Amino acid sequence: MPTLEQICKRLFTGSSWFARCLVGALLLAVPVAHFFAFGYLYDLIARARTGGRLEFPEWEEWRRLFVNGVAAFVIFTVLGLVPLALGWALTWPLRWLNYGVFVYLPMVPAVMLAAPLTAAGIYQYQKREEYRDAFRWRVLVAMLRSSKARFFVPSFAMVGFITAVYPLMTLTLFVALAAGWSFFAAFFRSIEEAHRPGAASVAQRR
């Protein structure tokens, strides 16, 4: 099974990763242009899902990036932003109780699940490029359950990184999504391979 550390080493070893992430951060900060950034993140998930080389590619084929970015952003909104917004809304009644930071407890499940759930949705969408595949809740829940909660540590790492370097918000967000979504896609791929017929016999021969 891949680890977040392994994925990060593969992504951030090249000399051009910072410049390419900076482009993504700038695009992410501009409405409409942010679709290009999401298209780039979509490509990183595709690389991890198909076992391709994990690195930050050149910024090219802008039309394809835009089209894929729209799909990735729609899935991100439904599976990531909407749960976060619902969790935030549930904190408002608790604020009257003056429980300090405990009023934010309703957001914890959404914060922990937003990234892996979005990655799972995009992962499934890429197989046939149909939105209904991205929102098959039973499939998505099964993917998260099959990971045996190993997505918690990467989710904590993403949240911690974004929080710690929040003044550079779009850059930290782009880097966190690139690393996190690549890891989740690679992790889901390893689980699928482990459950394929004959996987056990192949592993034994190795």
51 compared with 43, residue with greater pLDDT? 43
Compute the distance between CA of residue 177 and CA of residue 183 in angstroms, rounded to an integer.
Answer: 10
Q: Kindly report whether the global pTM for this prediction surpasses the value 0.85.
A: yes
**Over the chain, what is the mean pLDDT?**
87
Percent of the chain beyond pLDDT 90?
A: 58
Compute the distance between CA of residue 145 and CA of residue 167 in angstroms, rounded to an integer.
Answer: 34
pLDDT in tens, 91-140: 877 777 776 667 778 778 888 889 999 999 999 999 999 999 999 999 99
Residue 102 CB neighbours (<10 A): 10
Residue 101 has a pLDDT of 65
What is the pLDDT averaged over residues 18-35?
96
Query: Any idea what DSSP says for residue 78?
Result: I
